[in-house]
Structure 1
Amino acid sequence: MKILVVCGSGLGSSFLIEMNIKKILKEIGVTAEVDHADLGSAKGYKADILVGTRDIAVQLYDIGGEVVSLDNMIDTDSMKNKLIEAIERVKHKNKN
């Protein structure tokens, strides 16, 4: 499974979210490749899950994959819940 975190410039906020996602994945026992990129580069990635803040997430639906829209990039509880839901959707999709 591949997860791509996207922000406007592909630097600070996406890297912070990537680090939090890696902690969450370890906590829930899920193995995934996690990377971060700017919005322009995201279209070249093939990811199962795309993560971004609300302003970025609305632009990710055309790329493909499950989109996780974060209301607050430092709210790790909400991030964890949304990530678990997206992982379950990907697993369900891959079964069919």
Structure 2
Amino acid sequence: MLKVVVACGCGMGSSQMMKMRAQEVFKKLNVQVSLHHTSIDEASSSANEYDLIIVSEALVRNFKNTKAKVIGLKNIMSKAEMEQKILESGIIE
């Protein structure tokens, strides 16, 4: 099972909406995930516990020293962009 975290500045509204989009994308891709949403601070401090981190492009810089794959989205509400970047990341075999 893939461990995924989605994060936004405060860990409230945007990350919850991103989590819902991510659930739909992973279901479409037939990938079982453990999905969590949180603030950027919590995500950066626990980044190595995850396989994949999904954030806005502006927040990618917070994850320079992590073993997790990091995906930065231009439009955090776009399922199409999220799906494309997940597939491009190589995280799914």
- Residues paired across the two proteins, number: 90
Contact in 2 for aligned 1:5/1:14 (Cα 8 Å): yes
**Structure 1 unaligned spans of 5+:** none
Equivalent AA in structure 2 for residue 44 of structure 1:
S
Q: Flag structure 2 segments of 5+ consecutive residues without an equivalent.
A: none
Question: Are 2:42 and 1:63 aligned?
Answer: no
Q: Distance in 2 between matches of 1:79 and 1:61?
A: 20
Which of 53, 57, 63 is equivalent to 2:56? 53
Conserved? CA contact 2:3–2:50, under 8 Å: yes
Q: Percent identity over the alignment?
A: 22
CA RMSD of aligned residues (A): 1.5
Residue 91 of structure 1 deviates from its aligned partner by 5.1
Q: Is the contact made by 1:61 and 1:67 (CA closer than 8 Å) also made in structure 2?
A: no
- Output the TM-score relative to the length of structure 1: 0.84
Q: CA deviation at 1:36?
A: 0.8
